Structure 1
Amino acid sequence: MKLKNHTIITLLLLSVWVGCISPPEDFPTVPQIDFNNLEFVQTSGSDSLIVTLDFRDAEGDLGLNATDIFPPFNELTYITDDAGQFITYSERPDDAPDFNNRDWVIFPLINNQEIKDTLWVSENEDYYNILVKFFIKRGGNYTEFNWSDPPYFTTFNGRFPRMLEEEQQRAIEGEIRYSMLSLGWNSVFRNDTLKLEIKVKDRALNESNVVTTPDFTLSQIER
């Protein structure tokens, strides 16, 4: 299957199960996660790479809703020049990247006003609360497969929704099942041996430990 327009990647919402709302009082302030499972599901459309994590957190401040878009959870930072003006594609400096759908935004809405131009942006990592890195194993060595590089200009970092709607702190534990959709898993990785590194963040921007999946090929974890 060929990649088309370098925009084959989309993200699926996470499903979250809160298994216990009154666990022991010694739960960690910094989220703690453990690897649980990894599956590859092929369909007639986009295929899913699904990772399941176990989590524990003392405050229960895990998750971001669609309305959590203001700093520090804003998606993009608009790059400005020394005078504080937005940098447009037509007047880009020599060190600006060529046009791609990650570094440039066309006609963005800023403070409820549409800017009728193409602006240079950078991605805010704090917009995401689950971060995923891919590694390919060749000759016994691992090399990171960076989705943000050409020709993909994308990411498999994502968001999962709030575990608890109320702001009252409460210790929680359970599972996060995170599905990543793509039309191109097989065409990109074929029979490569892979592993993932994953971490999550709470709303205080505390980062969990990093969990690493076992080595796998897509065929080995196909469901």
Structure 2
Amino acid sequence: MNSVRNFLHIVLFAALLGACISPPDNFPSVPEITFEDLNFVTSPNGDSLKVKISFKDAEGDLGLNAIDINPPFNSLNFIRDSSGAVITYSNRPSNAPSYNPIDWAINQRVNNILINDTIWVEQNPNHNNIFVKFFIKRNGVFNEFRWEDPPFFTTFNGRFPRVLATNQTKAVEGSIEYAMLSFGWESIFRTDTLRIDVEIQDRALNRSNLISSPELTLAQIRRN
């Protein structure tokens, strides 16, 4: 689910992180974030939409590394039938969705056994720790532009790395710049008025407050 169908292709999720250790003692246990900036950067290698947020957290349990894939941070949950067996596409029930790269996964390991088939799955939201939603303003009203729906079947949710190298508990504050690369921003959004909403989540699965960008167009935030 890391590639988008048709004319949009996600190349990379990137997070550039800066943290200041030992801030004031009254920091929240649930992460607290503030919107800082949103830029649209054009490049021959792909255009990037970069959102920058600041954060505060009392325990410092922010971030997930590549090795953080065991529950509750696993990427997929497997849908099973009444007997507890995974459901393959050829044996799918009538209520199963048609094939798409969100609801179905190919050649997965289930209980350390490789299943060479297409399996019905559910995406685990806790695999990610930064969550981004897009909204387009039409007739004065914002409606969500859902990347998960056809024809894209993808998401711009992702991960930023651990703020602290060890599992120590320390209050932290800092900023995250999260870059979303694509070759399709302008062809999709053109002159639309946009807004993005952002949340983050710590390793205790505490979801932060939701923040929103100002209303804007790509032309207003373009940086060459």
- Report the alpha carbon displacement of residue 78 of structure 1 after superposing the two structures with TM: 0.8
Q: Work out the CA distance in 2 between the residues paired with 1:83 and 1:5.
A: 38
String of CA shifts for 1:32-80, please: whole Å, max 9, x gaps.
1000000001111221000000111110000001111011101001111
SS of residue in 2 equivalent to 1:106: strand
SS of residue in 1 equivalent to 2:218: coil
String of CA shifts for 1:173-197, please: whole Å, max 9, x gaps.
1100000011111111111100011
SS of residue in 2 equivalent to 1:13: strand
Residue correspondence of structure 1 range 68-87 to structure 2 within 5 A: 68-87=68-87
Query: How many residues are treated as equivalent by the alignment?
Result: 220
Residue correspondence of structure 1 range 92-111 to structure 2 within 5 A: 92-111=92-111
Unaligned segments of structure 1, at least 5 residues:
none
Instruction: Say if 1:46 and 1:10 are closer, same or farther in 2 by CA, change over 3 A.
Output: same
Instruction: Say if 1:190 and 1:211 are closer, same or farther in 2 by CA, change over 3 A.
Output: same
Q: Work out the CA distance in 2 between the residues paired with 1:69 and 1:11.
A: 19
- Report the alpha carbon displacement of residue 6 of structure 1 after superposing the two structures with TM: 6.2
Residue pair 1:11, 1:156 contacting (<8 A) in 2 also = no
Q: Work out the CA distance in 1 between the residues paired with 2:11 and 2:102.
A: 13
Residue pair 1:6, 1:151 contacting (<8 A) in 2 also = no
* Coordinate RMSD, CA, aligned: 1.3
SS of residue in 2 equivalent to 1:207: coil
Normalized against structure 1, the TM-score is what? 0.95
Partner in structure 2 of residue 29 of structure 1: 29
Partner in structure 2 of residue 13 of structure 1: 14
Q: Higher mean Cα deviation, 173-182 or 6-15?
A: 6-15
Unaligned segments of structure 2, at least 5 residues:
none
Residue correspondence of structure 1 range 97-176 to structure 2 within 5 A: 97-176=97-176
Residue pair 1:28, 1:57 contacting (<8 A) in 2 also = yes
SS of residue in 1 equivalent to 2:126: helix
